[in-house]
Structure 1
Amino acid sequence: MIENIQYNTERNKLIIPEYGRHLQKMVDHAIAIEDEAERNKVAKAIIDVMGNLNPHLRDVADFKHKLWDQLFIISDFKLDVDSPFDKPTREELAEKPERLPYPQNFPKYRFYGNNIKRMIDVALRWEEGDLKQALIVTIANHMKKCFLNWNKDTVDDAVIFRHLYELSDGGIDITTHDLELTDSSKLMSAKSRQNTNKPHSNKSYSHRSSNKNTNRKKY
């Protein structure tokens, strides 16, 4: 009797293990059916079983399409049936997705964030004029604010100008300009006002309410 025991290590590998071995056997049976009409009938029955195994996905868009794709994948693309959708190919399954662009970081000045770099790139594309100059000043002031968030003391404008020059690869040079950024104290006070304007918890009200409840006369 022990000789009839089958171990998973001795069985064929499941292509999509989530569906289990019984469904894999059903697909293998469908592949072996010679009659085309009967094979199509069995394939549709297998699709219904797969749908019952995933009832939470019935409202998902292209649910049936995904089931048919998975059916062909489970059959190792050997199942020859009529599908209401385009049949997937082995090449499409093996195709690697395109590499996603990873945001460029600047570890030396990462306290400025990636948005500063994007703003600098936009400024470099603008034509020379008052608008570009105003944008550069805005960027420099924002850099100063970011710097103060990291180092809550003070910073010389020349440091910001030098960092802006480095981040723009020399495209924006205001180190020699007679330009003054917003004072550090004003930037920090603006930040403190934002913090004080945040809604506070209603602890005092709840405390007063609890006192009222305790002072009520009990009957």
Structure 2
Amino acid sequence: MDLLPSIASASQIELGEEIRRLKSWPFLHIDIEDGNFLPNITFGMKTVKAIASAAEGKILDVHLLVTNPMDYLEPMADLGVQKICAHIEALPYPMQFLNRARQLGMKAGLALNMATPVSHLDPFYPAMDFALLMTAEPDSQGDQLYPPALDRAVRLAEERGREIEIFADGGLNEAALQRLARAGAAAAVLGRLAFGANQPFETLSELQALIQQ
């Protein structure tokens, strides 16, 4: 299972240094939040371009938490993003997003908020490469891991993990990572667990070794 450090949880005033602290870790996850789809705002395109440049050589995946995901596909492809997902709640026609992302050379996924039934993904499995399930949401308590949401991510990984990649995102801790890995999840997004550490690369390496046991 891949561990994807989320740059949105890094020190926003020192993004370049935060990326350097990842050393040779191969992955970087970029959350783009527009202040409309959910309350927070993360990065504009100038900052995303700077992040992509500083992270040259890393595998970049982008999670669009925005109201108009289609507007971001061409710019992200131009920056060399390898994987991109948008929320099914923001897509009146998910197939349009999935097909266009693939045409641009990216792997394409759909993301689900906790309130959205997993069954909403059923029509789209043949057209997508991965699904991202949120395991936390804005909760006025620091976006904590919500155990029932973790449970359903584990179930989906067990049921569909051989068919498509399953990602989990939000408040994940060591025990959650172990459960997801055992279930066959492909990736886990880590925010504070990675960038809150004094040495993110070493912490990620230790977590990788833990889930491989």
Same fold per superposition (TM over 0.5): no
Higher helix share: 1
Higher strand share: 2
TM-score tier (shorter): under 0.3
Q: Which has the higher contact order (CA 8 A, sep 6+)?
A: 2
Structure of greater Rg: 1
